A and B are shown apart, each in its own frame.
Chain A
Amino acid sequence: MPETIEFLSPRLVGSRFDQHSIPLEVLKDLSALEELIVEVAKWHYLRANKDRKRIPKGFVDQVSLKVTGINEGSAIPLIALTIASAVCDTLFPIDQREYFEKARDSVIAAVDAAEHNLPVNEFLTDSHLAYFDRIGRSLREGESLELNAANRERPARLNRFTRKYLTLAAASAEGYTDEVSLRGIVTEASVRKNSFELQVPGLVIRGPISPEHMETILDALKKGTAGVGVSVQGIGRFNRKGQLSSLESLEHVSMLDPMDVGARLDEFRSLRKGWFEGRGVAPSASELDWLTDAFDANYSVALPSPYLFPTADGGVLAEWTAGPWEISLDIELPGRKAYWHALNVQTDVDNDRELDLRQASDWKWLSGELAKLLGVDI
């Protein structure tokens, strides 16, 4: 009978893990964690057995880590170490359990050290640290994987910060990878080289084309000359300074609406101080991120996308035309306030209102007014 030992119960923290469920993409992280633990277990074995030149047969093959259940508490995958009976019954049994537990403890100690800005190289080698390029890559802002969840004071949190810290702790690491979501224009594509170039604000990046995305990329290349962009999700490679240098892989590619709000707001990221007659204020990247997310979250898809323009004082002006009505929403970005104004150019009837774009109720009012003037059901 194979021997099964309770091994690790990490806690996934974040709203995606509520109701003790784990998104499939996060399982890739756990799979990479298994690969790391196996490598560290082998390392511990060789360190403890200096007379051995190699790992004994069956040390790895007959051992596996399995998720045996998911406990409540955000989400806690129960990971068991299973050792095949063939290994247990051998003439010269090895206690893999000892080395795998040491490996687990080394990984936890390294993550804990990273969380506290301490050196990690005493726990793991450079080649081990390279695994953190994949472990935890699917974790989003505000999410974490607590490897030592039982210790409430030092739960060894793997999150976006500690993952980057661990990856870059390897002296040989030239950078790290991370999930990216980009909007840009395809400026070049090569079927022969299976690669393409994407122009995003401030830089041009190269990436591979997988067969399932070839048709969309070639279509995007044709339409890119007319300014039609694409939305790309995948894995990006960043240098040690955190600058995106290339795309490693593509997961999703889709053509953008020529009036796509996010793509248009991205264009404003290249504005510099003084852009308008020497006195234009450049909107900040974080405020543009906020506005993009705010439109995604609050603006009805049934409504036409607004025309968007930067304002000289660093804000954004949204405009719509509905028959005789000329409508504008002057958005003050740092304050997240807006000034609504609608004018019927035929009758001179107009109305205005101050809005607080932090309030969902004000977004609802905006959608309602637009729907009424545009004759759209939302």
Chain B
Amino acid sequence: MNSQTLLLRQIHPSFVQQGRVTSQAFRSTPKDEMKLSVYDGDQMTPEEAFEHFTSVLQQQSVGELAVTVSECESLDLKVDADPEPFPEHAIIDFTGLGRKDVESKGKKLKSIADARGWLLQA
């Protein structure tokens, strides 16, 4: 993983309305210990990540948006490999941030991902 690595985020069907993706797709919550799960784009293509998420993990996704490691770091968000659930798993770390900062950084990440566009749409 380097600064240009794409971090692939799966988008749940309920997180899209009339083509708009909700900013909560890019913010962590206390339930996920303030760590947002993503796929390491250096280890899996968007197609492989989608297949893994929907077939192996059996979760719902309508596609993938992405931000890079450097885009996260520009917002003071640390990115780490987290191979425990599966080898290609990584996290964007929101630990220690207050609610207002979590909201702002989530909205900025989503805005960056929106500008990049869908990497894959089911």
| Residues of A bordering B, CB below 8 Å | 258-259, 264, 267-268, 271, 275-279, 307-313, 317, 319, 326, 328, 339, 341, 343, 345, 348, 350, 352
Known contacts A341-B103, A343-B108, A345-B107: A326-B23 contact under CB 8 Å: yes
CA distance A308 to B12 in the complex (A): 14
Q: Secondary structure of the B side of the interface?
A: helix
| Residues of B bordering A, CB below 8 Å | 12, 14-15, 17-18, 20, 22-24, 29, 31, 59, 99-100, 103-104, 107-108, 110-111
CA distance A339 to B104 in the complex (A): 13
In order of increasing CB-CB distance, the 7 nearest A-B pairs are A309-B22, A341-B103, A326-B107, A343-B107, A352-B100, A307-B17, A343-B104
The minimal Cβ–Cβ distance linking B14 to chain A, given in whole angstroms, is 5
CA distance A350 to B104 in the complex (A): 7
Known contacts A277-B59, A326-B107: A317-B31 contact under CB 8 Å: no
Does A317 contact B24, Cβ atoms closer than 8 Å?
Answer: yes
Does A279 contact B22, Cβ atoms closer than 8 Å?
Answer: no
Does B29 contact A312, Cβ atoms closer than 8 Å?
Answer: yes
Q: Which chain B positions have C-beta within 8 A of A350?
A: 100, 103-104
Does B24 contact A309, Cβ atoms closer than 8 Å?
Answer: yes
The minimal Cβ–Cβ distance linking A37 to chain B, given in whole angstroms, is 53
The minimal Cβ–Cβ distance linking B86 to chain A, given in whole angstroms, is 14
Ordered by A's residue number, 22 sampled pairs between the chains whose C-beta atoms are within 8 Å are: A268-B14, A276-B12, A277-B12, A278-B59, A307-B22, A309-B15, A309-B24, A317-B24, A319-B22, A326-B107, A326-B110, A326-B111, A328-B107, A339-B99, A341-B107, A343-B104, A343-B107, A343-B108, A345-B107, A345-B108, A350-B100, A350-B104
The minimal Cβ–Cβ distance linking B106 to chain A, given in whole angstroms, is 9
Which A-chain residue is minimally distant from B25 (CB atoms)?
A309
Does A279 contact B18, Cβ atoms closer than 8 Å?
Answer: no
Q: Which chain B positions have C-beta within 8 A of A352?
A: 99-100, 103
Does A328 contact B14, Cβ atoms closer than 8 Å?
Answer: no
CA distance A264 to B102 in the complex (A): 26
Which A-chain residue is minimally distant from B103 (CB atoms)?
A341
Does A271 contact B14, Cβ atoms closer than 8 Å?
Answer: yes
Q: Which chain A positions have C-beta within 8 A of B29?
A: 312-313
CA distance A277 to B22 in the complex (A): 16
Q: Which among A267, A317, A341 is the interface contact of B100 at CB below 8 angstroms?
A: A341
Known contacts A326-B107, A345-B111: A311-B24 contact under CB 8 Å: yes
Q: Which chain B positions have C-beta within 8 A of A276?
A: 12, 14
Q: Which among A267, A275, A307 is the interface contact of B20 at CB below 8 angstroms?
A: A307
CA distance A276 to B13 in the complex (A): 10
CA distance A277 to B59 in the complex (A): 6
Q: Which among B12, B20, B100, B111 is the interface contact of A319 at CB below 8 angstroms?
A: B20
CA distance A279 to B33 in the complex (A): 13
B14, B31, B108, B111: which has the most chain A beta carbons within 10 Å?
Answer: B14
The minimal Cβ–Cβ distance linking B9 to chain A, given in whole angstroms, is 12
Q: Which chain B positions have C-beta within 8 A of A339?
A: 99
The minimal Cβ–Cβ distance linking B71 to chain A, given in whole angstroms, is 13
Q: Which among B14, B20, B31, B104 is the interface contact of A310 at CB below 8 angstroms?
A: B14
Which B-chain residue is minimally distant from A275 (CB atoms)?
B14
A258, A341, A350: which has the most chain B beta carbons within 10 Å?
Answer: A341
